[in-house]
Chain A
Amino acid sequence: KAGVTQTPRYLIKTRGQQVTLSCSPISGHRSVSWYQQTPGQGLQFLFEYFSETQRNKGNFPGRFSGRQFSNSRSEMNVSTLELGDSALYLCASSLGWSSSGNTIYFGEGSWLTVV
C-alpha cells in the first residue's frame, strides 16, 4: 500500500513568488492535514481538509491556503513568499475526521527554500 506522496520534494523560490505543493493521501484516506516544520517553531499545524472542506485551521496568515479535491488529493499554496516561509512542509493523511483520535500518517515532506 503506497504511503503519503508529496511533490515536489525540494524547491527553491524567490521572495514574492508563490508556490503550490501537492499531496496524495494513502489510498482510502479522506482526511489530509498540513504541517510546517522549522528549526525555530517546530511542527505547527496549518490546516486540515476532509470531504473537500477545510475543517480546522492553524494560526497562519491568509497567504497560506489549501484545497482538497474529490479524490482526496490536496494542495497547499503560499503566496507572496517571505524568507521565513522556508521550511519543511509535511502532509499527513488519516481515514476520517472526528474527535476519535485518528492516527495521521506523514509523507516525506516538501523542502521549500525562499531566497
Chain B
Amino acid sequence: AQKVTQAQTEISVVEKEDVTLDCVYETRDTTYYLFWYKQPPSGELVFLIRRNSFDEQNEISGRYSWNFQKSTSSFNFTITASQVVDSAVYFCALSGEEGNQFYFGTGTSLTVIP
C-alpha cells in the first residue's frame, strides 16, 4: 500500500524557534519519490523539495532542511529560525511507479506567532 502519515495536525511556535515536521511513508515500490509542498491560505500547493529513494543525503536550502531516512521510512522537514511567513499547511507526498499519481499526507498546519 502507498501511504503517507503526518501525525502532527497542528503546530504553533514562536517566531525564531526551530520546528520539525514529521512524515512517515509506506510503499511497495522499489523506486519512489518523496516531496514536500507548502499550502498558504490562497490554496496553491507550492513545491519545496523532491527526493528519490536512492538518495538519502540530507538537504539544506536556506532555513529549510530535510532528513530522509529509509531505515525508518521517514522524510522530516525542519525550519530553522521560523518566521511568520512560514505559517501555512505543509504536505508530505509520495509518488511511485504509477506515473504521476501522488499520495499525500493529511498535512501539518504550522502557525508561527510573532
Chain A residues close to B by CB (< 8 Å)? 31, 33, 35, 42-43, 45, 48, 50, 55-56, 58, 88, 90, 92, 94, 97-99, 101-109, 111
Bitwise interface map of B from 71 to 106 toward A, beta carbon under 8 Å scored 1, else 0: 000000000000000000001000111111111111
B64 within 8 A of A: no
B70 within 8 A of A: no
Partner of A108, one of B32, B44, B96, B101: B44
Expressed in whole angstroms, the Cα–Cα distance for A108 and B39 within the complex equals 10
Chain B residues close to A by CB (< 8 Å)? 31-33, 35, 37, 42-47, 50, 52, 91, 95-107
With A43-B91, A99-B31, A101-B33 known to touch, is A90 a contact of B101 (CB < 8 Å)? Answer: no
In chain B, what residue has the closest Cβ to A46? Answer: B101
Expressed in whole angstroms, the Cα–Cα distance for A98 and B101 within the complex equals 10
Expressed in whole angstroms, the Cα–Cα distance for A56 and B101 within the complex equals 7
Asked whether, in the complex, the Cβ of B100 is within 8 Å of the Cβ of A33, the reply is yes
Asked whether, in the complex, the Cβ of B99 is within 8 Å of the Cβ of A108, the reply is no
Asked whether, in the complex, the Cβ of A45 is within 8 Å of the Cβ of B52, the reply is no
Nearest first, the 3 closest Cβ-Cβ pairs linking A and B are A101-B33, A43-B104, A106-B45
In chain B, what residue has the closest Cβ to A103? Answer: B50
In chain B, what residue has the closest Cβ to A95? Answer: B100
Expressed in whole angstroms, the Cα–Cα distance for A31 and B105 within the complex equals 22
Instruction: Output the least CB separation between A21 and chain B (Å).
Output: 13
Asked whether, in the complex, the Cβ of A98 is within 8 Å of the Cβ of B99, the reply is yes
Q: List 11 A-B contacts (CB under 8 A).
A: A31-B99, A45-B101, A56-B98, A94-B100, A99-B99, A101-B50, A101-B95, A104-B102, A106-B37, A109-B44, A111-B43
Contacts of A102 in B (CB 8 A): 95, 100
Asked whether, in the complex, the Cβ of B106 is within 8 Å of the Cβ of A42, the reply is yes
Asked whether, in the complex, the Cβ of B47 is within 8 Å of the Cβ of A48, the reply is no
Instruction: Output the least CB separation between A104 and chain B (Å).
Output: 6
Asked whether, in the complex, the Cβ of B95 is within 8 Å of the Cβ of A45, the reply is no
Instruction: Output the least CB separation between B105 and chain A (Å).
Output: 8
Expressed in whole angstroms, the Cα–Cα distance for A90 and B47 within the complex equals 14
